[in-house]
A = this chain, B = another copy of it.
Amino acid sequence: MNAIISWLKDTNAQGLDTYGNAIAVAILVSAVLALLYVVLTAKKVLGFPEGNETMIGISRSIRTGANAFLKRQYKIVGLFFAGMFVLLEIFAILGYISPFVPFAFVTGGFFSGLSGFIGMKIATAANARTANACQSGLNRGLRVAFSAGSVMGLTVVGLGLLDITIWYILLKMVFGLPTEEITGAMINFGMGASSMALFARVGGGIFTKAADVGADLVGKVEAGIPEDDPRNPACIADNVGDNVGDVAGMGADLYESYVSSIISASALGVAAFNEVAAVDRTRALLVPLLLAAFGVLASILGTFFVKTKENASQKNLLGALRRGTNFSAILIAVAAYPIVRLSLGASFWGLYIAILLGLLAGVFIGLCTEYFTSDSYKPTRFLAKTATTGSATAIIDGLGLGMLSTVLPVVIVSVCLIGSFFLSGMSVTVGGEVIPFSNTRGLYGIALAAVGMLSTLGITLATDAYGPVADNAGGIAQMSGLPEEVRARTDALDSLGNTTAATGKGFAIGSAALTAMALIASYVDKIKSIDPDFVFQMDIMNPPVLVGLLLGACLPFVFAALTMKAVGRAAQSVVIEVRRQFEEIDGLLDGKGEPDYASCVDLCTKASLKEMVLPSLIAVVVPVVAGLLLGVNGVVGLLAGATITGFLLAIFMSNAGGAWDNAKKYVESGNYGGKGSRAHKAAVVGDTVGDPFKDTAGPAINILIKLLSMVSIVFASVVVAFSLL
């Protein structure tokens, strides 16, 4: 690290452009390093044996189903991207947007999709290997699953950094664009990434939960057969769903979060340091990228700390993962100071505190999530108890739990917002010159807090993405009839995956809220750059703002409703198909007949792709229409409203879902009568309701709130030119 600092000092002395270019190349190198790590780790994973014939066969079925889904999904998404490309090209030709926009949009979408695709490839390759490795021991299983997770984690951050840096180098060094135009163009691949992520999350989310809910309803509740039982015709679809939703969807989603947080911070940095003569704006642009690049290195180092003893307990396993993430977080917390100091100067220490606040907020939100969703604590245990009086009381209590769990994250984000804003924006003295308090610099601080929160994404995502691999491994162990102890090991890995997934969701939601705020600020800046004389009236009591707030606040509700109803509809068709097979295929329940897995996979694919279109279009169309009707002030209201209720609904839904899931597990582990009891039946209903909550609607809302801002930014000139108010 010392070497890096002194190198930074050197380039620092050489003058600004050289510094910027050198930094850009260094960032590119760390992106390449991440991808190198990906290739090596993927090779390592593929080196493990897949197990016996049955396991290979099941794994192949899952892979085939997942590939078929992605292929068809990419076709539909491709149409959308082609249409948007043409539309953007028209606006570019008419002069409303920069000619780079259509291309940036498409690359953002491409890389986002690619992140999901690579993640899914490795996950579907690792599932049988994890199950097989669990035959020889828990640590070996953890190694395979976690390695697969880290391939995904480093792919996302590697591709994210690569995309941003290539565009930066292209625009800066090849086309020689001025700095503020660079960040303007970069926002557009954010929009591409968000659009792709939304399709992936919504489509994959509907698939996975339709299959899961459908399989559970007929299998567990009606036929009384266990989860992942090979007699259940929907069980392959269920496992395919884990991959297309929880892996491919999550990969695209977090690629988007990562990239959005960095580019919104860069854009605000340029705007903020416009006012500071002593510091080149380019440096403020590069700080988020540098932070991310260090995060990549810290994440790679952190992965080496994840290992455990053979007879590890649940606690040991969690400890192993925690060691890795904590190590990376501390590394970043330390490295962020020299990054801020050497890039912008010691006076701007407030920005460093903002980064720290972001990191801490991420950790605290994660802890809150754990408290509300883990069965080690009171809320989920009490939820399990309410299941003894039936499913209605379990649903009521779970909804209440989810709503109540919004309080602490709101307080944490509020403290982080206020703290980073005032500390980052405060009046400072640079070289004798007093620079007054700056709102934009304060907002830059907020954006940096989001980057800080996500800087360790490489490893936090690894601990998160390993969950679906372990889940699949469990399914394969069950379906191929491996010994009870193997299933116990995959269960241990899977259950841990639920906790890390909950923590990961906390990060995703927290960073989404901060990034969305930063993007709203970028929108305001964008308007200023289009029309420097524009008079903002963003006063809450101005009715267009108020109406914007109201409409925006309504959007996450609509979005959640559409996706949940879509899951409900798709799950119903699965239920009907599975019931049909149980009735029509002779001896299916006795294990003699052969279920038609492919028909369930096909059904889910068709249903989820059909249902994915409307919610995604709403996210793109509404901000433009609202802008044309209510004007710029209305749009700001809309974005703020959507961010605020989106944040609340996302936490509510993912925590309620997580708690129901774990309450069910708690009952299954022998409490309140255990499996098959009245409490268990009620807990299963809770879990089923929670499925679309936590894995479809909740995560999709995170993307929605950012996509709305980015669409608004891209079409800002159109709104300024044609709005009614």
Residues in chain A within 8 A of chain B (CB atoms): 213, 217, 221, 386, 389-393, 395-397, 399-404, 406-407, 410-411, 413-414, 417-418, 421-422, 439, 442-443, 446, 517, 520-521, 524, 536, 538-547, 549-551, 553-554, 557-558, 560-562, 564-565, 567-568, 571-572, 575-576, 636-637, 640-641, 644-645, 647-648, 652, 684-685, 688-689, 692
B543 and A217: CB pair below 8 A? no
B652 and A217 contacting across the interface, CB-CB below 8 Å: no
Is A414 touching B648 in the complex (CB atoms < 8 A)?
Answer: no
- Is A393 within 8 A of B547, CB to CB? no
16 contacts between A and B (CB under 8 A): A391-B685, A392-B684, A392-B685, A395-B395, A400-B561, A401-B565, A403-B558, A406-B557, A414-B547, A418-B544, A439-B541, A517-B546, A524-B541, A540-B540, A541-B636, A553-B645
Q: Which residue of B lies closest to A544 (CB)?
A: B418
Cβ–Cβ < 8 Å partners of A558 in chain B:
403-404, 406-407
A417 to B575, CA, bound (A): 45
> Min CB distance, A209 to chain B, in Å?
9
How far is A549 from B397 in the complex, measured between Cα atoms in Å? 26
Cβ contact within 8 Å between B217 and A404: no
What CA separation (Å) do A135 and B550 show in the bound complex?
Answer: 49
**Residue from the list B390, B417, B640 in contact with A540, Cβ < 8 A:** B640
Q: Are A689 and B217 in contact (CB under 8 A)?
A: no
Verify A551–B521 contact, CB threshold 8 A.
no
Taking the nearest CB of chain B, how far is it from the CB of A400, in angstroms?
4
Decide yes or no: A541 and B553 within 8 Å by CB, A407-B558, A547-B418 being known contacts: no
Which residue from chain B places its CB closest to the CB of A637 in the assembled complex?
B540
A396 to B210, CA, bound (A): 12
Nearest residue in B to A636 (C-beta to C-beta)? Answer: B540
A421–B562 alpha-carbon span in the complex (Å): 32
Ranked 9 nearest A-B pairs via Cβ: A403-B561, A392-B688, A400-B565, A404-B561, A400-B564, A421-B543, A403-B557, A400-B561, A414-B547
> Which of B520, B562, B576, B647 is A541 in contact with, Cβ under 8 Å?
B520
B561:A401 contact, CB within 8 angstroms: yes
B397 near A565 (CB under 8 angstroms)? yes
* Extra pairs beyond A217-B389, A540-B540 (16, CB < 8 Å): A213-B393, A217-B390, A386-B568, A386-B572, A390-B685, A392-B688, A395-B685, A399-B689, A403-B561, A406-B554, A410-B550, A411-B551, A414-B547, A414-B550, A540-B545, A553-B648
Contacting residues, chain B, for A550 (C-beta < 8 A): 410, 413-414, 417, 644, 647
Quick one: given A547-B418, A558-B407, are A397 and B568 in contact (CB under 8 Å)?
A: yes
Q: Is the CB of A410 within 8 A of B647?
A: no
Contact among B217, B396, B647 for A567, CB-based, below 8 A: B396
When chains A and B are docked, how far (Å) is the Cα of A520 from the Cα of B546? 12
* CB of A358, distance to nearest CB on chain B (Å): 15
CA distance A390 to B543 in the complex (A): 44
Known: A389-B575, A558-B407. A546 touches B640 (CB 8 A): yes
Closest to A523 in B: B541
Least distance between A540 CB and chain B CB atoms (Å): 5
What are the residues of chain B within 8 A of A391 when measuring CB–CB?
Answer: 391-392, 685
CB distance from A579 to the nearest CB of B (A): 9
Given contacts A403-B558, A410-B550, A547-B417, contact A689 B538 (CB under 8 A): no
**Chain B residue contacts of A576, Cβ below 8 A:** 389
Contact among B404, B417, B554 with A565 in the assembled complex (CB-CB below 8 Å): B404
Inter-chain contacts of A413 with B (CB < 8 A):
550
Cβ–Cβ contact B572 & A389, under 8 A: yes
Which residues from B are CB-within-8-Å of A540?
Answer: 520, 538-540, 545, 549, 636-637, 640
A509 to chain B, nearest CB (A): 13
Are B396 and A689 in touch, CB under 8 angstroms?
yes
* Contact A414 B551, CB 8 Å, known A390-B685, A541-B524, A645-B648: yes
| Known A221-B390, A540-B636, A541-B538: A554·B404 in contact at CB below 8 Å | no
List B contacts of A402 (CB < 8 A).
561
Cβ of A414: which chain B residues have Cβ within 8 Å of it? 547, 550-551
Instruction: Assess the B560–A403 pair: CB atoms within 8 A.
Output: yes
- How far is it, in angstroms, between the C-alpha of A408 and the C-alpha of B454 when the chains are bound? 37
* A644 touches which of B411, B520, B549, B688 (Cβ 8 Å): B549
A547 contact set on B, CB distance < 8 A: 414, 417-418
Quick check: A640 and B549 within 8 Å, CB to CB? yes
Q: Considering only CB atoms, which chain B residue lies closest to A564 in the complex?
A: B400
| Given known A-B contacts A414-B551, A549-B644, A685-B390, A396 and B557 have beta carbons under 8 A apart | no
A417 touches B546 (CB 8 A): yes
Complex Cα–Cα for A149 and B472 (A): 60
Contacts of A446 in B (CB 8 A): 543
Q: Note all chain B residues with C-beta closer than 8 A to A422.
A: 543
**Nearest CB on B from A484, distance (A):** 29
Query: Which residues on the B side are within 8 Å of A417 (C-beta)?
Result: 543, 546-547, 550
| Complex-state Cα separation, A443 to B539, whole angstroms | 14
Residues on the B chain within 8 Å of A636, using CB = 540-541
Closest residue on chain B to residue A413 by CB atoms: B550
Chain B residue nearest to A539 in the complex (CB): B538
Contacts of A442 in B (CB 8 A): 543
Rounded to whole angstroms, the CA-CA distance of A201 and B567 in the bound complex is 35
Cβ–Cβ contact A557 & B652, under 8 A: yes
The answer to whether residues A553 and B397 also contact, given A541-B538, A572-B386 and a CB cut-off of 8 A, is no
A523 to chain B, nearest CB (A): 10
> B392, A213: Cβ atoms under 8 Å?
yes
CA distance A520 to B550 in the complex (A): 15
Interfacial chain B residues near A645, Cβ < 8 Å: 553, 644-645, 648
Shortest distance between the CB of A545 and any CB in chain B (Å): 7
Contacts of A561 in B (CB 8 A): 399-404
By a CB distance below 8 angstroms, the chain B residues around A545 are: 540
In the assembled complex, the Cα of A68 lies from the Cα of B126 at a distance in Å of: 66
CB distance from A418 to the nearest CB of B (A): 6
